Amino acid sequence: MTEKHNNRELNRDLSSNQMQMIALGGTIGVGLFMGASSTIRWTGVSVILAYALAGIILYLVMRALGEMLYVDPAVGSFANYATKYIHPLAGYLTVWANVFQWLTVGVSETIAVGMYLDYWFPNIPGWVTGIVVLATLTLANLSTVKAYGNLETWFSMIKVVTIVLMIILGFMVILLGFGNGWQPVGFSNLWTHGAFFAGGFKGFMFALSIVITSYQGIEIIGITAGETANPKHAIVAAIKSIVARILIFYIGAIFVIITIYPWNQLDQVGSPFVETFSRVGITAAAGIINFVMMTAAISALNSGMFSSSRMLYTLALSKEISPKFLKLSKHRVPTLPVLAISGGIFLGIILNALLPLFWHGSANIFVLVYSASTLPGMVPWFVILWSQIKFRRENKAHMAEHPFKMPFAPFTNYFAILMLLVTLVYMVINTDTRVPLLIGFIFLVVMSIIFFMTHRSRSTN
């Protein structure tokens, strides 16, 4: 079974399980393994509440997306909905925001892979290993979508197994004292080191913005829908389980960390994941976590290449870029979009390797560009929540028998949109996130100007 667009067909070879694993690959990245300490430092024990609140927003976004996908599971779904139910500019910005987000994240993840491989191969330059990984994943993305799905499933499984094992071992330390001389750690660290909101409301909101950023990428389910067998069943099954899985993994891992270790002493611990495994006698903990973080980076890069290449394909379908991007391989894969994304990441790797030779402050610029993906990464969430409001008005006939409706719409839409807007306000207040947010904003403004200039020239021709 295939999805047709102007006689262009993409294979529907992804299963519901592969959809979920691709979404996990895009969402559970290096941020959880390396960024946990940062969010805990902002707000203390209340970080659990931040992850839970962000999880509610995540759930509402995915239910709104699921309602629309059940009726119309198209390639580049939420970009199409933005165009149809909001404005062509919204669809245009959604596509380019997704491409920008995954290009910046892709470059950083590829460089991260080189850093992790340096643990075992210190004499090989990181940019060399990064390029090898990029070439391998490019070939995987040019292969059949089923092969890509299988590869991403294995990458995601490594992360999932590690997190689940860490949570189980953590509770053994907390309840039984395993690795602690059989003296249970208990739960006292949750309330004996200061106020629940250690950084006040402002600190909590700063942490919330980082947490929401860490959840970005889950909407990739909407893009995989166009290449999924039996999409209606797969979409419902995937969205029902994916949110629960992500919340269990994130909240479970963070809960274990702040229960075992006093939150205000985490800076002295190093990596909480490494320390948790080391505590129970797994002496190879550093190597294990290094391997897992490496696969997490590869997995996020793999998901990003898939997502952004399909978005370029969507731009070609709407005639915003050259029709050459519509050409499919014999495996029904959009070849040029995959190569374009791969080429963009390649240039980023080379630029990152060369800039330090001429400009010693370039490393900080790269961090800013990476962080700048936060606002573009929020664009799909805004358009999903906004599109669904008008979608329901225009599809009343489908709503009567619809089995997967957005709960309490449109009030839940307004709540989620308001929370995202408040988060952005606090990102402006926070000096650590203000400049990256500005970079993302400038990118969206520039793309808006390009949109109106190109569409005005078309209308005058």
**% of the chain residues with pLDDT over 70:** 84
Instruction: Please answer whether residues 70 and 235 qualify as being in contact, where contact means their C-beta atoms are separated by less than 8 angstroms.
Output: yes
Q: List the chain domain ranges.
A: 2-455
Please name the residue that has the structure tokens 């390639």.
75
Residue 209 tokens read as 């913005």
150, pLDDT greater than 50: yes
Amino acid 7: pLDDT: 45
Burial of 390 (0-12, 13-18, 19+ CB in 10 A): middle
Amino acid 444: pLDDT: 93
Which has more confidence, 74 or 214? Answer: 214
Amino acid 2: pLDDT: 41
pLDDT tens track for 8-43: 556 556 666 776 777 766 666 656 666 667 788 888
1, pLDDT greater than 80: no
CATH architecture of 2-455: Up-down Bundle (1.20)
Q: Which of 222, 217, 218 is nearest to 78 (CA)?
A: 222
**% of the chain residues with pLDDT over 90:** 18
d(CA 72, CA 75): 9
Residue 382 confidence class, pLDDT cut points 50, 70, 90: very high
Amino acid 216: pLDDT: 80
Residue 449 confidence class, pLDDT cut points 50, 70, 90: very high
Least confident of 3-12, 150-159, 299-308, 384-393: 3-12
> Residue 334 forms beta bridges with which residues?
328
Least confident of 10-19, 142-151, 254-263: 10-19
Coil, strand or helix: which one is 263? helix
Amino acid 165: pLDDT: 87
Helices 77-85 and 374-394, axial angle in degrees (round to 10): 60
